[in-house]
């Protein structure tokens, strides 16, 4: 049974800034992409990127487009990055560009409207980078299942002004986004020790910001004042900051709009950086007496059972658990009529907030060591509002934990300390295989005007 305890939120220290992937690491990723390309029978691979969909390109190269689109064309023995006016100098953020592993082609048509257009035509740049004929794989940010579109294999998630000249140049063009994002085998769907260190830093930055915001919440302040209290540290955002209360309470994706925080209102909010999304939901109250009369059993009827279900979720986060088993158990513990969970109870996260998920109805995909998993289980009820325990974790086997301890002992120690706190103080069933990446992991404060009161089992 869930109950409340009053505690200070834990502080396990500030991680050191981890280095970005170096030339050797990025060369390894390019080699992995070429191997996947060859195994699929592709002669070349075109990887699309823009401001919202940069993750595959950034993972491969260390370069993420700003303002503009960009296209990376990979063949067995060459790589060309097509970039517009403003991205052109920024491409040198990539060690592969600096080292000459990737050649850059300036394509003004990738620039914003009305900017100078002198330079190589887009079709000519594609012709320079892509040999004619053959089978090309095109990777954007999503692929399609049977039944969604008429021909999933050839349905492209690239803008037509890029898809058309690619189709004109190659004999066949297939959607190859799954090579990077499929939860069963995608190249970006598992991480190693260095990636875990970077994920932990992002989670720490997001969790620290959310903590500052929570403890600054006061009746009568506006959401325009609440969000700056987070003191964002400047890491790139993985999605926009949300803060939904008052007239926007039912629109959880809303950002601040000038709503005033009133006692007795539901609220939800998040801070999301690349690799981390820390989200909470609850009530702007000091205790149950401040709740609407119909919602005064919120702790026992809604938030408490949710925390118990999330404890069961954590217990299942071990290598080998079929994703469908997680789905079935969560749907049983959180009946739809009360909790209204519709999306996947847990998904993979990277530079994009949602890569994909092995957890869906009927999934036989096993959870794997190295999966960076977001505890994104979103309940909603017309009377109780919502609650949330959304943080970042990594599923690990003994070999990955040993490798992390050898490469980043401080990261491993902090993950172990967080897991011990969650087990000993919060009563959560955290297995050894689950590495908590943020000090907020496991914390649910239902009364957000009294955030020291948190749920324990």
pLDDT digits (tens, 9 = 90+) for 333-387: 999 999 999 999 999 999 999 999 999 999 999 999 999 999 999 999 999 999 9
DSSP 81: E
User: How does pLDDT run across 67-123, given as a tens digit for each residue?
Assistant: 999 999 999 999 999 999 999 999 999 999 999 999 999 999 999 999 999 889 999
> What is the domain class of 41-175 according to CATH?
alpha beta
d(CA 254, CA 271): 13
Q: Which residues contact 27 (CB under 8 A, 6 or more apart)?
A: 96, 101
Q: CA-CA-CA-CA torsion for 309, 310, 315, 321, nearest 10 degrees? A: 90
Give Cα 337 to chain centroid, integer Å.
28
d(CA 381, CA 176): 39
Please provide the DSSP assignment of 369-399 as one string: TT-EEE------BTTTB----B-EEEE--HH
**Residue 251: is its pLDDT beyond 90?**
no
Read off the pLDDT band of 132 (50, 70, 90): very high
Question: What is the arithmetic mean of pLDDT over 146-154?
Answer: 94
Delimit the domains of the chain by residue range: 3-16+188-456, 41-175
Can you name the CATH fold of 3-16+188-456? Answer: Creatine Amidinohydrolase (3.90.230)
In the prediction, which pLDDT does 440 show?
Answer: 98
**Residue 439: is its pLDDT beyond 90?**
yes
**Which residue, 39, 328, 42, is CA-closest to 185?**
39
415 CB-side CA count, 13 A: 30
Q: Which helix (H) or strand (E) holds 348?
A: strand 347-348
d(CA 178, CA 39): 13
User: How does pLDDT run across 153-186, given as a tens digit for each residue?
Assistant: 999 999 999 999 999 999 999 999 999 999 999 9
Round the average pLDDT of the chain to a whole number and report it.
Answer: 97
- Whole-angstrom CA distances from 438 to 21, 203, 273 are 22, 5, 13
């Amino acid at each position: 049974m869930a109950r409340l305890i009053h505690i200070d939120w834990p502080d396990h220290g500030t991680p050191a800034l981890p280095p970005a992937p170096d030339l050797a690491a990025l060369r390894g990723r390019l080699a992995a992409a070429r191997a996947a390309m060859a195994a699929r029978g592709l002669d070349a691979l075109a990887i699309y990127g823009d401001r919202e969909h940069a993750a595959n390109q950034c993972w491969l190269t260390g370069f993420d487009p700003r303002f503009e689109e960009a296209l990376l064309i990979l063949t067995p023995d060459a790589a060309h990055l097509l970039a517009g006016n403003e991205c052109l100098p920024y491409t040198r953020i990539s060690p592969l560009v600096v080292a000459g592993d990737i050649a850059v082609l300036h394509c003004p048509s990738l620039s914003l409207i009305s900017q100078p257009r002198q330079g190589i035509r887009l079709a000519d740049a594609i012709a320079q980078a892509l040999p004619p004929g053959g089978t090309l794989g095109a990777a954007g940010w999503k692929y399609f299942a049977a039944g969604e579109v008429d021909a999933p294999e050839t349905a492209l998630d690239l803008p037509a002004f890029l898809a058309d000249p690619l189709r004109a140049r190659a004999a066949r063009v297939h959607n190859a986004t799954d090579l990077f994002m499929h939860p069963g085998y995608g190249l970006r769907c598992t991480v190693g020790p260095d990636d875990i260190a970077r994920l932990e830093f992002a989670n720490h930055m997001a969790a620290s910001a959310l903590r500052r915001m929570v403890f600054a919440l006061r009746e009568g302040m506006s959401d325009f004042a609440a969000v700056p209290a987070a003191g964002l540290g400047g890491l790139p955002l993985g999605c926009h900051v949300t803060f939904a209360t008052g007239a926007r309470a039912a629109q959880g994706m809303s950002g601040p709009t000038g709503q005033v925080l009133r006692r007795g209102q539901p609220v939800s909010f998040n801070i999301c950086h690349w690799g981390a999304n820390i989200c909470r939901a609850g009530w702007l109250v000091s205790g149950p007496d401040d709740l609407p009369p119909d919602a005064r059993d919120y702790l026992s009827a809604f938030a408490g059972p949710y925390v118990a279900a999330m404890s069961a979720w954590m217990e299942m986060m071990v290598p080998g658990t079929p994703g469908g088993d997680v789905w079935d158990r969560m749907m049983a513990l959180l009946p739809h009529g009360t909790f209204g969970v519709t999306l996947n109870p847990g998904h993979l996260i990277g530079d994009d907030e949602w890569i994909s998920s092995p957890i869906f109805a009927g999934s036989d995909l096993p959870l794997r060591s190295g999966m960076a998993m977001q505890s994104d289980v979103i309940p909603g009820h017309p009377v109780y509002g919502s609650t949330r325990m959304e943080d970042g974790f990594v599923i690990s086997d003994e070999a990955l934990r040993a490798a992390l301890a050898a490469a980043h002992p401080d990261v491993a120690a902090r993950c172990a300390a967080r897991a011990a706190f969650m087990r000993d103080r919060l009563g959560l069933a955290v297995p050894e295989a689950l590495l908590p990446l943020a000090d907020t992991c496991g914390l649910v404060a239902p009364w957000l005007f009294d955030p020291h009161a948190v749920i324990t089992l």
